[in-house]
Structure 1
């Protein structure tokens, strides 16, 4: 996927909107393309990528991993997939019209 200056901010904006549906918070880390996601249950996930859109999501073990943690992880992964797919489709539509 070709990276333009708009893709990452567009992904970030859409992803933040999706996370708000689950009352999760996204915090950008100092290192480029690194983010911390905090759930209402105080679970922490680290999200990063070297080559967008190959996004990695890792559970940061800060406590006991519960069934609720699994539910949040599935939702976050679903949000990531939705956002990447939406952006890819947007790029394809833009490419067709130019």
Structure 2
């Protein structure tokens, strides 16, 4: 169950901005509003089946292109890319409080 409050929190926008966003997506046919099953003071936000299908198809095509790009590389090239991406990911990991040093 997704609520407007959940969306606002995840996207990092105000409740007023969330309402405007949801209004636009409902008007465009991408979302629907429904009563919350447990809390009648709020509503649930649902993605329409058509939008969900379009998203799955888009992601499938993108994944296919990514796979083709990786498959076109030699194993040595892929190893270099994996090392590079691993180093980037590790660089984003917290290293402790640097201000205390």
TM-score normalised by L of structure 2:
0.32
**Structure with max Cα Rg:** 2
Q: Of the two structures, which has the highest relative contact order with CA contacts closer than 8 Å and spacing of 6 or more? A: 1
TM-score of the aligned structures, taking structure 1 as reference length: 0.33
The structure where helix makes up a greater share of residues is: 2
